[in-house]
Structure formats: C-alpha cells, structure tokens
Amino acid sequence: MRVVTPVSESITGSRTDVAETPLRVDGVTKRFGGITAVDGATFAVERGTLTGLIGPNGAGKSTTFNLITGMLAPDAGTVTFDGEDITGLEPYEIADRGLVRTFQVARELGEMTVLENMMLAPKDQRGERLWRSVLPVARGGVREQEAELLERVWEILEFFDIEHLAEEYAGNLSGGQRKLLEMARALLTDPDVLLLDEPFAGVNPTLEARLLDHIHDLRDRGYTFLLVEHDMDLIMNNCRHVIVMHQGRILTEGTPAEVKSNEAVIEAYLGGDV
Amino acid sequence: MSANTNTTDDTTPSGLRRLWAQDAVKIAVLLAVIYGAYLGSGLVLGYSVRGQLNSLASLTFYIGVFATLALALNLHWGYTGLFNIGVVGFMAVGIYVMAFVSKPLYGSGGAAQVGGLGLPIPVGILAGMIAAALLGLLVALPALRLRADYLAIVTIAMSEIVRFTFLSSTFQRFQFPYNLAGDTTRVGFGGGSGLILDFPDPLLALIDAAGLSGAYDGLVALVGRIVPNNPDPIVHSLVYGLVLLGVVAGYFWLLKRTGESPFGRVLKAIREDEDVARALGKNTGRFKIISFMLGCALMGLAGILWLMGQGAVTPNFFRPRLTFFVWIALIIGGAGSNTGSVMGGALFAAVLYQGPLYFQNLVTSVFQPGEAPSGFGPAVSPLLSNFDPGPFLLYTLDSIRQLQLVVMGVVLVWLMHNRPEGLLGHRKETAAAIPLVRPRGSAGGGREEGTDPASPSRSDGDEGGDARE
C-alpha cells in the first residue's frame, strides 16, 4: 500500500512523517570491549536537507556511519530507512535501497582505472549476471547498457572535473582526487540518502566550493545528505540542521546558530575539563 | 580466441607495435619462440625425428594443461583475489568423478578391479566438472565469509582431504546403484594402487564423433612415412596436444568474456577492496561463490584433460606440489591477466617443467654419456682429487628431476624480487564490455559504441569473437 503524496505537501509535511524523514536512528549503541563507541544515538535526517554531523575526534561519528550502513552491527537500537527497519542488514542490501556512504579515508580501487571504478557503481547492471556477459546472444544487451553507463559516467566525471584522469589507475590519484572519485562513484548508485564521511578533506577550496554547490543543487532536487565534517565553518554555513556528537552520545542538535551558542558544545570542543 | 580476429590489417607505421598489443599475437609469438627453441636445439644436436616429435607432443600437452590451470587460477586469484591453494583437490575430484561415471560396468571384461557407471565420456566430463564446482561451493560457503588467508588454509586442507579420501580403503570398492531398478554394481576409487581408466580412448572417440577418423588415419599414414616404426602413438599425442590448445583457447575466450564485463568488474572490485563493493550495493558473496565455482569447474576439467588419456590415475599424483606449479605459472605470467596466464603456463611448461627433462633427454641421446655416479660422494670426489668434472656433470644431469624444484624456487625468488607483477606487468585488462574511452560526444545518441576513432576496431573485433564459437 503506497500513499502518493504530492510533492509540495511532502515538503511541508510534519517532521515525523516517514516520507519526510527517510533516515531515523533510534537508540543505537555499539561497544568495543569496554569502550562504548556509540551510546544510544538517536536522531533523524529530514528529506531534502543537508544535515551536518559534527563532534571532536573519537566522538563516534564514523562508527555511527558504520552502524547505519551495516558495516557494523549495533548492540542495541534500530536504524530505519524509508520506514523499514534496516538494522543488521548486509551493507549491500542497505546500499541497494538507496542509502549509500563514502569512506573517511578514500577507498579507491587502486588497480582499476578511474573509469572502471565509476562503471562499477551503477545499480542493476545486466552484465553482473555471468551468463549475460558470456553468452553471445545476451552480450549485445550488456554492451548496449555499458555504452549508456559510460555516457552517464563521463558526465559525472566532467562535473567533478576529473575526466582527464579517466584512464588513470585510481591508485595513482592524489588524496583530493580520490575523494572526488569516491563521491562521484557514490552518486552513480542513484542514492536517496548519501552519507559523506569528511568528503572535503584534501580537496582544494575552489573545488570544495563547486562540490558544495553541486550538493546544494542535488539537495534541491530531493537528495538527502548526512555530512560528517571537521570544518565547523563549512558545516555552519551549509547545513540547516546540525547534530553534535560527543563521547558516543548525541550532545545536542539544532540550527547552526543554536548549536554554536550551546554551552555543552563549546565545552566539548574546547575540552570540558580544562 | 576472440582477440585473434580483431588483429586488423594495420598498415600504419605503428602497425607492428599495435599488433604486439594484441593478446593473441603475444601468445603466438611466445609459442613460436618456444617451439623454435625446442626444434632448433634438437636439430642442431641431431636429435632423432621421433624424439623431436615426441618432445613436441609432450611440450604441447604440458603447455595445454598448465595454461588451462593458470587461467582457472587467474579467475580465482588474479580477478577475485581468492587465495586458492587447493588446485589439485579440484583436479582430483574432476578426474575421479569422471572415471566413476564413465568407466564401464564391473565385469564387462578387462583387468579393472572396480567398474564405473558405464555412462558416455561427455557425461562423465560434465559430472566431473559439476562435482569440482560443488566441492568448491562446499569449501567456499564457510570460508568466503572469512579473510583471504583462511580460504587458503581451507583449500589446501581440502585438497589433502580429497587425496586421502581417494587413498582410503573405505572407498576402494563399494556397491552403487547404476539403474533406476536399484541394481548395484561394484564401483570404487581404487585406493592407493590407483584406478585404471578403462573407458574407450577419449581422443579417438572425439575424432570419431566429429567424423574425422579418415583424416586422422591419413595423418598417421603421413607421419608413418617419416617415422616408419609405429607412428600411431606419436600422432595420437600430437593431436591430443592440439585439442588441448583448443581447450586453452576456449578457456581464454570464456574468461576474457567473464573479465571484460560488469561481472568481472565486480570481481576486480572484490579483489581490490570488498567493503567498497559492498558499500556500492554489490552482493559480493554471490560474486565470489560464482567465480569460485566456475574456476573450480575449470580446474576439474583441466584435471580430467590431464589424466583421462593416461590409462590410470593414482591419488598421490595430486600432491600439493602440483598446486604450487600452477601458482608459479600464474606468477610468471602475471596474476590478473588472462594473456599473462596463458604465457605463464606456456613458459612454465616449456622452461621449468619440461625444459630440464628435455635437456636431459637431448644430451643423453646425442652424447650418450656413460653411467652416472650412484651418489654424491662418487660424483664429487673425482672433481676434487683430479679436477675431473665429468662424473659431477653426469650426476647433475641424472638428478635434473630433483634439481628442477630448486630451479623453480630460485626463479620464484628472483621474480618476487624483480618482477612481482609477472611478465605482463600491470593488471591491464579492462573490466568492461566496451572499450572504456571518452564517449563520442553526447550528440550522436551514443548508441554506436566502438566507432570512436580513439578505439579502432576493438568492438568490431569483439563481434567477430561473438561469431566464432
């Protein structure tokens, strides 16, 4: 049973609406031995927003990402995506539903070219069935789709301004270029929600501005972003909603202005026990 | 081979270089060099024609089996990053199951202690491949969830379990139903004394089925003119070698197709970083299992092709050493490259596996030296006492089979130090069904892939490959 909501209504709809908050994290906890890396984290990400997730080193941001995307299984709590409980699903199942992440340390596929890296990403490729790729009768369809994908891939490469690297091995790219490749690759999966783990580390300021423009552009088209970032200014200038983590817990959340003036946040960042 | 057909008649100045870039050309040149070296050295030293033909036949045979095995292993390790060091286990299951299915029923004459199910050879071959693939599945299901090195441990243990299973007296002979009525017949794996492969000669059966027995007889008569005395076995092994090379071409085609596709792309991604592939929504477990099972089936077939013409098979043929031979072949050629695998298989067979033996045969038959000393002492003492190197050289020549392993070790160490990526260097075979180059504008509708001027004739050639099989 599917409720078709007019676009305008869904944008102005209530916050608790499933269509409005595609991603909900509820009481998620993860312990490694005696350390509680994430402690009952609860938050929701609204559709069509750029939400920032900030916090000092070791606050549990990346672990939270891993818990959301199935790379780690939470000890407690649930993750809901588009109204479905996705806790404990395999990473590929979660990615397949449209919740895709990038990694903090860019994980390029080094001995594959940039184009191969990119061509890997799109979903539902015919040729991923072995028989289709091998059997002469089916191979034509695979090649046709490959040609279409290549065009799309090339557009994205051009957008990210790395098309001159297309035939380069990903392992030869600079740190910033790898970040771009990673984000471009994630976009090719057609995600609804993108979790970006420090996407701008090592990216030059011009490109950073361009990427932000593009992210805003995509957000306007209905994509949703959850962004981990160290650069406070960047978060404050670009996110409407900011979640602050500290020692595994959600310290506070709100608009940048609210967060900025929050005593606890200042204390967490400057070191409470000083 | 699909690449065969796309060697366009390049008349440009860089034609030669571009020709060299074709996989098939590289392989053909290497084979020509190998055969030239074998024939040439034989001719110079006055080796007999019979000896020449025999050595060519066995050379071709080993090139064939090692190239197929290296190709199959390349799918596992070179493409998917699956560390399989149990290659022999899959080969053993292939040939033993094939024998089980295709040996004639017990009691239908012949010296065999046990029979088989008496089904046709092609059914046996198929059963052997399926059994190898299923064993692969059995091994893979628990082990693929673990890290790569655990798969290695599981596979080598499995290969030894397989060997000991076929050695065990429990399975030496047992009753097995062979028809729907439930009548049983005496079958078995023969235990340590081996299993006689008393089905009809597979090559002659194949030739008969293809309606080429006339041509074959003609060939025997032709060779009979050069080698009057019993030309039949020579022709038989030469033709079998050619069939094996055909199988290599088939493997090459299949694995090239597999690699140059979205499927192969995911395999490569798994090799590079499985987490990334999963984060992009790929069910990597499925890909790993399919890749592993396919490779295992191909290894099973290679085992069948290696042994089905040998008359008998014993479990101790399948010692882990053989697995490492295949690994050396793959490492020489360059893991990740199908062309490299074929070249590595050929080089390994020609230089490291058959080379020393050929050299020994050649020297013995041409110079006919006397008896080699019986041990190390008698071999060395003349060298030390009166500087007579003769006995020592003879002893060395006589122990060449053992020294072979030392040479292989040295070559492997050298390769690891100086060229760890193998002959063909980087893993350059692009994992896509079309050439990955800048698409020709977006204006053309983008449907005519391959007409890009930057990628001359690649895709046309691939179409030629389509038509071939």
Q: What pLDDT digit, counting tens, does each position of A67-111 carry?
A: 999 999 999 999 999 999 999 899 999 999 999 999 888 888 988
Q: Give chain B positions within 8 Å (CB) of A136.
A: 466-467, 469
Bridge-based pairing of strands B174-177 and B184-187 is antiparallel
Q: Which of B280, B298, B440 is best to mutate for the A interface (most A CBs within 10 A)?
A: B280
Do B151 and B82 contact (CB within 8 A), yes or no?
A: yes
Nearest to B427 among A111, A147, A167 (CB): A111
| pLDDT-flagged residues of chain B (< 50) | 1-11, 442-469
pLDDT at B101: 94
Please report the residues numbered 74 through 103 in chain B whose beta carbons come closer than 8 angstroms to any beta carbon of chain A: none
Q: Give the pLDDT confidence of B376-403 residue by residue, as tens digits.
A: 877 777 777 877 787 888 888 888 888 8
Closest Cα in chain B, distance from residue A233 (Å)? 29
Distance CA B197, CA B286 (A): 36
Asked if residue B246 belongs to a domain, the reply is yes
Check if the interface score ipTM surpasses 0.90.
no
Mean pLDDT of A158-178: 89
Nearest to A142 among B278, B433, B446 (CB): B433
Asked if residue B250 belongs to a domain, the reply is yes
Domain count for chain B:
1
Bridge-based pairing of strands A23-32 and A35-45 is antiparallel
pLDDT at A17: 56
pLDDT at B109: 67
Q: Give chain B positions within 8 Å (CB) of A113.
A: 430, 436
Asked if residue B120 belongs to a domain, the reply is yes
Mapped onto helix, strand or coil, the DSSP state of residue B349 is helix
Per the structure block, which two tokens stand in for B72?
Answer: 């199959």
Distance CA B308, CA B426 (A): 36
Distance CA A266, CA A250 (A): 14
Do A239 and A61 contact (CB within 8 A), yes or no?
A: no
Helix (H) or strand (E) holding A32: strand A23-32
Q: Residue A119's closest CA among B258, B447, B256, B435?
A: B435
- The answer to whether the CB atoms of B279 and A111 lie below 8 A apart is no
Q: Name the phi and psi angles at A100, rounded to 5.
A: -120, 145
B444 touches chain A (CB under 8 A): no
Do B255 and B295 contact (CB within 8 A), yes or no?
A: no
Distance CA B369, CA B248 (A): 38
Q: Which CATH number describes the domain made up of A18-108+173-270?
A: 3.40.50.300
Do B160 and B320 contact (CB within 8 A), yes or no?
A: yes
Q: Which of B261, B274, B451 is best to mutate for the A interface (most A CBs within 10 A)?
A: B261
Asked if residue B331 belongs to a domain, the reply is no
Q: Give chain A positions within 8 Å (CB) of B430.
A: 113, 116
Interface contacts (A, B; CB < 8 Å): 148
Find the closest chain B residue to A190 by CA distance: B280
A128 touches chain B (CB under 8 A): yes
Asked if residue B167 belongs to a domain, the reply is yes
Do B95 and B313 contact (CB within 8 A), yes or no?
A: yes
Q: Give me the residue spans of the domains in chain A.
A: 18-108+173-270
What residues make up the domain containing B79? 46-318
Q: What percent of chain A has pLDDT over 90?
A: 51
Q: Give the pLDDT confidence of A112-165 residue by residue, as tens digits.
A: 999 999 999 999 899 999 999 999 989 999 999 999 999 999 999 988 888 899
Asked if residue B285 belongs to a domain, the reply is yes
A104 touches chain B (CB under 8 A): no
